[in-house]
Chain A
Amino acid sequence: MSTTFWIIIAGAIATYLTRIGGHLVISRFENIHPRVEAGLNAVPAAVLTTLVAPELLNAGPAEWAALVVTAVVSLRGGLMAMFLAGAAVLILARQFVG
């Protein structure tokens, strides 16, 4: 077996542990404290924001335009509508500002 193969296997095990680990830890408690519940409710916004925010550091006019349009469209439209709108603006804007 090659080193690459073992890296993939170990990475897969590590990843699965993260996916099942939170549940295994939390399920040991019978009552969830309100503060823990408040924390859990904050998870999606907290995590997803970290996948976007650092991108702003390197974003140029085309990227900013795409993000603003995405945010505006998401106020009214669904996920697909906002994604296509953002992607369209990005591709169009990059033809002009590179």
Chain B
Amino acid sequence: MATDVISESGAKSDFWQGVRLSMPVVVASAPFAVLFGALAVDQGFSVLEAFLMSALIYGGASQMVGIQLFGQHVAPWLIVLSIFAVNFRHVLYSAGIGRRIAHWPVIQQALGYFILTDPQYAVAEARAQSGQTVGFAWYLGLGLPVYLFWIVESALGAVFGKLIPDTHALGIDFLLPIYFLGLVMGFRKRPLWLPVVIASGCASIVAYKTVGSPWHVSIGAIAGVLLAVILPPHHSGVGERP
């Protein structure tokens, strides 16, 4: 009994610890949710469709690409393929976080992967790296507020979209790069951080100029990861296993 109470209150405090960490993500993603809703309606989506897209896909950049192509009357299969291409980086997150949450029940894992976004991965991976366990309660505390705010703000953006004032003056279009730069800096103590950042940065810029968006994301990411794989293991701080 006593241990039950302790583990339950432990899970509760883990959950709220996750919620606290989710707040910067909620704030950072809010403008994009509202912007997405407003743009979606502008491109011919209904409020319900904008809401559904946020609730079911839950990936900001891919949703933006999706509605943009929809507005240009691109073939449906190409829109789905583009959404897949933008989100392809999640394969890498999935492989990485799988090591950390393998001890969860399967249903919890299935749910955990559904809310595996960029910041969710980054914050969970940082926790695992600091030697702490990534528990389900903590992970849900981190992800649930972001998800709920995301879908509600998307719908609000769709309803009130045309009331957004000058988005450029408010810097809304550039908040995402600022946020992602902060996440990149957070990983700076990892071995090979600078070479990987340089390789990915250069490859993504070249790909952006040649192949075009959204493929620069996958191409740039693969370049950085390949560099870490190709360099001898002693550079990457990963010991040879016996």
Contacts and interface: CB of A to CB of B under 8 A. Distances in A.
Interface residues of A, number: 69
Contact of B182 (A7, A10, A86): A86
Contact of A15 (B57, B76, B222): B57
Chain B interface size band reads 35 or more
A11 B63 CA distance: 9
A47 B118 contact: yes
Given A21-B91, A39-B228, A42-B228, A34 B200 contact: no
A63 B231 CA distance: 34
Interface of A is mostly: helix
Contacts of A34: 233, 236, 238-241
B89 A47 contact: yes
Interface in B165-193: 168-171, 174-187, 190-193
A20 to B, nearest CB: 4
B66 interface: yes
Contacts of A91: 169-171
Interface in B89-146: 89-99, 102, 109-110, 113-114, 116, 118, 121-122, 125
B67 to A, nearest CB: 10
B154 interface: no
Nearest to B204: A50
A38 B236 contact: yes
B33 interface: no
Interface of A: 2-12, 14-27, 31-32, 34-57, 63, 66-67, 70-71, 74-75, 78-80, 82-83, 86-87, 90-91, 94-95
